[in-house]
Amino acid sequence: MLRILQSRWKQGFRTVGFPDKPPTLPAMYRGRPHCDATKCQAGCKACVDACPTGAICRKGNSVSIDLGKCLFCTDCTDACPTKAIEFTSEYRMATRERNALVADDRVYEAAKALDGEARRLFGRSLRLREVSAGGCNACEADTNVLGTVVFDLGRFGIQFVASPRHADGLLITGPVPKNMELALKKTYEAVGTPKLVIAVGACAISGGVFAGNPEGGKGAGEIVPVDLYIPGCPPHPITILDGMLRLLGRIE
């Protein structure tokens, strides 16, 4: 027991300083993609053709990237002959509206807080039931790690619960295939009102690589109303935490 206490003492304070301090992200981190239109070659659609989910659209000299579909796979950056597309270190990607996930020439707007009454109800105590709707377990792993000492989600009053009847909302991962549609609907109905829904990852937002498959889904928004979209494949735990805190008005 003494050795355990000594080891813990040597480890020191392990919880990240975010949101009071900027997060420390790995060198290989892929954040919000950006396209420098001035580098694009006229008529070139190499990035559009390379994207496995159709997340990139080009009209004239304007290039837009739908983060709700983006897998952050770098196929576009590898295909671009002029290296016009790059993945930045920007982790603040969560939005309240599905259309806001499209990154183009406009300023990207991060998620805004709930209205006053909803913020009063959920701002200091939010209980979420996680629904893994056909996911590969990548997004699930990054949501689970939020409960560790490093991120310590509970210090913000946010916790995952085992029953939707004890929850204030749902956190959904996976593309929601046909076999999960009824289960998701029943889980949503079991949550008391008012309630929140958070879609985490490209699959939960748009169906990801499974979109268009007869047995696959098109995302949670096709089944239940979504209040917060957190893009990524999977999104970094800091991106998930940032989105939640913005929704609750804890950061701006």
Among 210, 232, 237, 233, residue whose Cα is nearest residue 222: 210
Structure confidence at residue 107 (pLDDT): 84
Q: What residues pair up with 34 in beta bridges, in sequence order?
A: 86
Where along the chain do its domains lie? 33-90, 116-247
DSSP string, 77-111: HHH-TT--EEE-S-----BSSSGGGEESSSPPPPP
Measured CA to CA, the distance from residue 146 to residue 142 in angstroms comes to: 7
Structure confidence at residue 106 (pLDDT): 82
Structure confidence at residue 11 (pLDDT): 72
Arch. (CATH architecture) of 33-90: 2-Layer Sandwich (3.30)
3-state helix, strand, coil in the chain (%, to 5): 35, 15, 50
Q: What residues pair up with 160 in beta bridges, in sequence order?
A: 128
Contacts of 10 (CB under 8 A, 6+ apart): none
Structure tokens at 35: 């396209």
Arch. (CATH architecture) of 116-247: 3-Layer(aba) Sandwich (3.40)
Structure confidence at residue 211 (pLDDT): 87
Place of tokens 């001035």: 38
Cis peptide leading into residue 164 (ω within 30°) = no
Contacts of 84 (CB under 8 A, 6+ apart): 35, 36, 37, 39, 40, 47, 63
Measured CA to CA, the distance from residue 238 to residue 151 in angstroms comes to: 8
Query: Which residues of the chain fall short of a pLDDT of 50?
Result: none
DSSP string, 237-249: HHHHHHHHHHHTT
